[in-house]
Chains A and B, each alone.
Chain A
Amino acid sequence: MAETKLAAYICQGCGLGERLDTAELAKVAQKEGKVPLVKEHEFLCNAAGVQMIRDDITNEGVTHVVIGACSRRAKTEAFGFTDVAVSRANLREGVIWTQPDTVEAREKTQEMAADYIRMGCAEVKKMVLPTGNPNAATNMKMLVVGGGISGMTAALEASKAGYKVVIVEKSPQLGGWMAQLYKRVPSHSPYSDPVDTGVEELAAAVQGDANIKVYLNAITSKTSGAPGKFVVEITPESAAAITEEVGAIVQATGFTPYDANNLPELGYGKSKNVVDQAGLEALAKAANGGVIKRPSDGGEVKSVVFVQCAGQRDDTGKHLPYCSGNCCNTSIKQAMYFKDANPDIDTVVIFDDLRTPGNGEDFYRSAQQKGVTFTKGKVSTVDATGNTCKVNFHDLILGDENAAIVDADLVVLATGQVANSGVDTEARLRAEAASLAGDDALLTALDAQESQEGKKISILNLTYRQGPDLPQLKYGFNDSHFICFPYETRRTGIYAAGPVRRPMDIAQAVEDATGAAMKAIQAMENAAVGSAAHPRSGDLSYPSFRMEGCTQCKRCTVECPFGAIDEDEKRYPLFNESRCRRCGTCMGACPVRVISFENYSVDTVGSQIKAVEVPDEFSEKLRILILACENDAYPALDMAAMNKQLYSSFVRIIPVRCLGSVNTIWITDALNNGYDGVMMMGCKHGDDYQCHFVKGSELANYRMSKVDDTLKGMGLEPERVQTFEAAITDIERLPRLINEYAAKIEEIGMSPFKGF
């Protein structure tokens, strides 16, 4: 690249010119920021302003630009120069909109603006224009593991978008659970009757698609690589392994019904006339539109009872604690099998809460029209006598604890879904952590489970250092960020779709699979151009490791939420660029600070911290550093500014990619430079985390808990460094938080480190 040439542009629009002395700011950029080319403009984001910058890039050879205008989240198109390094000094949202427009406030407002200009100049000098992943790979074929409705849909959608697909299905045919159904819940208006599944046509479409290659009776025995260059070993039953190279993977391995053998009190195993929902589908399929027969003796079914939440939504800890979300509709559908054949058959659904997501409400109403009886109650036991069953239940409306249906010919248990995920790579870690904390229950349970059923089999057999399968959430479902990024797992380029992700029905699985296929395509396309998959889609930067400084502490490999870092033979970190989501958690973790991005590093942020002018102890002016997560806290602060929520002029805010990228050296540097306090704003962590990078804010919180000792060592009050959880909706709360914190620091007093 050509020689570095800096330029700074200061906007006077949006009231900046009236509130701030921009000429003074230009002087700051020139003298203190050492920027040779500084210009003011009355309306920087208009065509003329942008053209002015563009001309300087072309004619003057400007390579690094500081834009002192609005927030980096505003005018991204106008200021989206891709051929130069850009730093944004947030004078609008960060300064004038959050400060009172009074004569008295003018001096402090100007100081704030000057600091942001200094920070912008300091940052941009340390930035290098990102060039993209040098090891980019361009494989555009997609692997789908699982040939059920989710897998087939993902494959067909990807094929329609023009991509090649490989399906690996462990059973001898495509179709999965859907092929086991007699009929399905309707997905189109009028939602009144069960309809044909259409699974044969779908399977035929997959088989007949030239873009899709299907391996039946096969498993994925080994998976290595990264987005754009996965290498997958597919092992068909009794045949040699085949190697396929793919760009992205969709895992659609579906579910297994919760084992009804765990429910002997509901008569399962004791009477042949007690079946689970899958069992009833089999009976209906066998009857094929004819009369459904009683399994025990082939007798006529005159009365059938559906037991909802059998082993689900259980708070005793023995069964599934969650709702599977599809069983109510399934029971409604199955009750219609009987009612449609003969309206005189007694069909009773005993439910606790009837949950009919999607358009199930219409389907439910239709069943009521057909005369299916819905009874709100909780089934306690099912007694089998001869060829009928007695269903004992607590009638929750009539308050009758001894209600019973005495002559049920058939009892159907709605048992719910258990994810077909692979090995829980984090179960042992979690159990060991709990055990250390004094709770041995998890570890004991895990040991018992392992000795009983042997090790659970892996599905993807990843050769990642982080384990052979996708990390799981509670209850064994695969997921990454439930709210913001469904389908995405914590292994970049590998997506979960269908009931392996969360319990769901066919309609939801179809939508899910389509979404997952689109995300997989996005990952492949991004990997091909060397940029990040998501959430920083299009980001060309990636971390580089200065190996000669590395002490092999492995924190980066352990803490990377996405398994992007393996270890090489010499136990140095082996980085996989295209698996990386660019959160910077590794950078925050590294104790020797050898990890950096081209445009985001310990140095870019550290220089900003040091660029702030810290007033001396007699000035009565505090300086508080805020490190704010750019996904939630920073937008919330911007929105607070738009609403003209005022906050202390003593704060200087630096956006960070994730609180996980915060290196403790920044805190130490800030305190050593005489800052009076540091606020960190990250996303909610824990089981119901909202962190876009899953673990970032949690790790930050953990690291910061260790900062207390450092503070004590420095003779400082621990309150001077605090971490806060912030959501993007905290528009009113954050300014309040800042003001409260500033008041508290004022109470504690100035930092003794000023002027050293």
Chain B
Amino acid sequence: MSDANTQAVEKYRNNFLKEVSERVEEGDWVKMCMQCGVCSGSCPLGSAWAHPPQEIFMMIRAGKREEVLTSDSMWMCTSCYNCIVRCPRKLPITHIMHGLANYAHRLGLAPKNQPTRVLGTLFWNNAIQNGRINELKFSLALYFKDGFSQGIKNALAMKDAGLGLLKAKRLNPFEIFGGHGCKGKKGIHAMLKKAQEIEARRKNFTA
């Protein structure tokens, strides 16, 4: 269990609703849910979720912290925004789902091999490193996330697409050697650091 999680448990005890309200992006809205179920009914992937949004909100109120934060349900959201459009109480459900996923990830409770989480992590790490996305490295990292031999298999399966991109000059094989960066990388890193500080302060994350 991560330190951040231990601290959170310590701080909020069994008031998970309060924790979500203070620490999750748009989490303050959870208390406004009136359990009509329109979000769950509107979700095109609703049947693929272990817990559709209505249920997630109810679980938060019922204090089912562990179950919510380790769930992969909120990672299933594809940001189609159907739920937001239809919610009679105007809850920003999509944002709450992303907020919950992010919070679970931050606490180290999100399911480790959740594909959306892995993709997100790789993308984000790749992007901050050089201040821009190195597409070649990003795709390779994704291919090889489950080990070398699986990576080879993935690469072979995608070889036609890769060659096509190469021919169309959309893919530069030399990017593998470092790749091109952007101006003021330092500034970007400083900016992101500052943003994280502000967020931590605003959401009561203890250092």
Q: Decide if A398 touches B32 in the complex (CB within 8 Å).
A: no
- Let me know if B61 is at the binding interface, CB within 8 A: yes
Q: Which residues of B are found within 8 Å of A354, using beta-carbon distances?
A: 34
Could you tell me the distance between the alpha carbons of A374 and B32 in the complex, rounded to whole angstroms? 9
Restricting to B65-113, which residues have a CB under 8 Å from any CB of A?
A: 89
Q: Which of A365, A369, A376 contacts B58 (CB 8 A)?
A: A376
User: How many angstroms between the C-alpha atoms of A613 and B135 in the bound complex?
Assistant: 97
Flag if A375 contacts B32 (CB, 8 Å): no
Within 8 A of A (CB), among B20-62: 31-32, 34-35, 54-55, 58-59, 61-62
0/1 per residue, A336-356, Cβ < 8 Å to B?
000000000000000000100
Cross-chain contact of A374 among B34, B54, B55, B59 (Cβ < 8 A): B34
Contact residues in B for A398 (Cβ distance below 8 Å): 55, 58-59, 62, 64
- Please state if A397 and B32 are interface contacts (CB–CB under 8 Å): no
Q: Which residues of B contact A365 (CB under 8 A)?
A: 32, 89
| Binary contact readout A399-416 vs B (1 if CB under 8 angstroms, 0 otherwise) | 000010000000000000
Q: Are B54 and A397 in contact (CB under 8 A)?
A: yes
- Whether, in the assembled complex, A207 has its beta carbon less than 8 Å from a beta carbon of chain B, the answer is no
Q: Contact: B32 with A369, CB < 8 Å? A: yes
**Which A residues are in CB contact (< 8 Å) with B55?**
397-398
User: Which residues of the partner chain A approach B31 to less than 8 Å between Cβ atoms?
Assistant: 368-369, 371, 373
Residue of B nearest to A370 (CB): B31
**Contact partner of B61 among A364, A369, A373, CB < 8 A?**
A373
**How far is it, in angstroms, between the C-alpha of A386 and the C-alpha of B28 when the chains are bound?**
35
In the assembled complex, the Cα of A375 lies from the Cα of B60 at a distance in Å of: 11
Query: Could you tell me if A375 and B61 are in contact, using CB atoms closer than 8 angstroms?
Result: yes
Name the A residues within 8 Å of B32 (CB-CB).
Answer: 365, 368-369
Interface string of A682-717 (1 = CB under 8 A from B): 000000000000000000000000000000000000
Chain A residues, Cβ within 8 Å of B35: 374, 376, 397
Docked Cα-Cα span, A397 to B35, in Å, equals 8
Distance in angstroms from A381 CB to nearest chain B CB is: 18
Query: Does A632 make an interface contact (CB < 8 A)?
Result: no
Report A656-685 residues with CB < 8 Å from chain B CB.
Answer: none
Q: How far is the CA of A693 from the CA of B64 in the complex (A)?
A: 58
A447 to chain B, nearest CB (A): 45
Instruction: Give B37's nearest chain A residue, CB to CB.
Output: A397
**Chain B residues whose CB sits within 8 angstroms of the CB of A376 once the complex forms:** 35, 58
CB neighbours of B17 from chain A (8 A): 373
Find the residue from B31, B54, B55 having the highest chain A CB count within 10 A.
B31
Min Cβ gap A295→B in Å is 25
- A148–B83 CA distance with the chains assembled, in angstroms: 46
* Distance in angstroms between the alpha carbons of A375 and B62 in the assembled complex: 8
Residues in B with CB closer than 8 Å to A397 are 35, 54-55, 58
How many Å lie between the Cα of A381 and that of B58 in the bound state?
21
Interface presence of A479 (CB below 8 A): no
Interface size class for chain B?
10 to 19
CB neighbours of B62 from chain A (8 A) = 375, 395, 398, 403
Q: Mark A255-277, 1 if CB is under 8 A from B, else 0.
A: 00000000000000000000000
Which chain A residue has the least Cβ–Cβ distance from B14?
Answer: A346
B22 to chain A, nearest CB (A): 12
Would B58 and A375 count as touching, CB distance under 8 A?
Answer: yes
> Which residues of chain A from 356 to 372 have any CB-CB distance to chain B below 8 Å in the complex?
364-365, 368-369, 371
* A373 neighbours in B (Cβ, 8 Å): 17, 31, 61
Closest to B21 in A: A371
The docked-state distance in angstroms from the alpha carbon of A375 to that of B64 is 14
Residues of A within 8 A of B58 (CB): 375-376, 395, 397-398
Closest to A375 in B: B61
Cα distance A403–B62 in the bound complex, in angstroms: 9
A304 CB, nearest partner CB in chain B, Å: 15
> How long is the Cα–Cα vector from A354 to B33 in the complex, in angstroms?
13
Q: How many whole Å from B159's CB to the nearest CB in chain A?
A: 47
Chain A CB count within 10 A is highest, among B32, B35, B64, for B35
Most interface-central of B34, B35, B61, B62 (chain A CB within 10 A): B62
Complex: A397 Cα to B62 Cα, angstroms: 11
**Bound-complex Cα distance A376 to B58 (A):** 9
Determine the distance from Cα of A141 to Cα of B64 in the docked complex, in whole angstroms: 64
Most chain B C-beta atoms within 10 Å of own C-beta, residue among A364, A368, A397, A403: A397
Closest residue of chain A to B17 (Cβ to Cβ) is A373
User: Which chain B positions have C-beta within 8 A of A369?
Assistant: 31-32
With a cutoff of 8 Å between Cβ atoms, the chain B residues found around residue A368 in the complex are 31-32, 34
Would you list which residues of chain A between 547 and 587 have a CB under 8 Å from chain B?
none
Residue-wise, chain B 137-167 has the 8 Å CB interface mask toward A (1 for contact) of 0000000000000000000000000000000
Minimal Cβ-Cβ distance residue in B for A343:
B18
Shortest distance between the CB of B119 and any CB in chain A (Å): 30
Closest to A373 in B: B61
Q: Which residue of B17, B34, B64 has the most chain A CB atoms within 10 A of its CB atom? A: B34
Using CB atoms, name the residue of chain B closest to A397: B58
* Closest chain B residue, CB of each to CB of A371: B31
How far does the alpha carbon of A203 sit from the alpha carbon of B55 in the complex, in Å? Answer: 49
A230 to chain B, nearest CB (A): 49
Residues of A387-402 at the interface with B, using a CB-CB cut-off of 8 Å, are 395, 397-398
Which residues of the partner chain A approach B64 to less than 8 Å between Cβ atoms? 398
Q: How far is the CA of A403 from the CA of B58 in the complex (A)?
A: 12
In the complex, residue of chain A having the shortest beta-carbon distance to the beta carbon of B59: A398
Q: Which residue of A lies closest to B57 (CB)?
A: A397
Give the residue name and chain of the A residue nearest to B89 (CB): A365
Q: How far is the CB of A693 from chain B (nearest CB, A)?
A: 42
Q: How far is the CB of A180 from chain B (nearest CB, A)?
A: 30
Report how far A627 CA is from B54 CA in the complex, Å. 56
A398 to B58, CA, bound (A): 7
Chain B min CB distance to A346 (Å): 8
- Listed residue (A369, A375, A398) with the most chain B CB atoms within 10 angstroms of its CB: A398
Other A-B pairs beyond A364-B34, A371-B31, 11, CB < 8 Å:
A354-B34, A365-B32, A368-B31, A368-B34, A375-B58, A375-B62, A376-B35, A376-B58, A395-B58, A398-B58, A398-B64
Per CB-CB distance, the 7 closest pairs between chain A and chain B, nearest first, are A397-B58, A376-B35, A368-B32, A373-B61, A368-B31, A398-B58, A397-B55
| 19 A-B residue pairings within 8 Å (CB atoms) | A354-B34, A364-B34, A368-B34, A369-B31, A371-B31, A373-B17, A373-B61, A374-B34, A375-B61, A375-B62, A376-B58, A397-B35, A397-B54, A397-B58, A398-B55, A398-B59, A398-B62, A398-B64, A403-B62
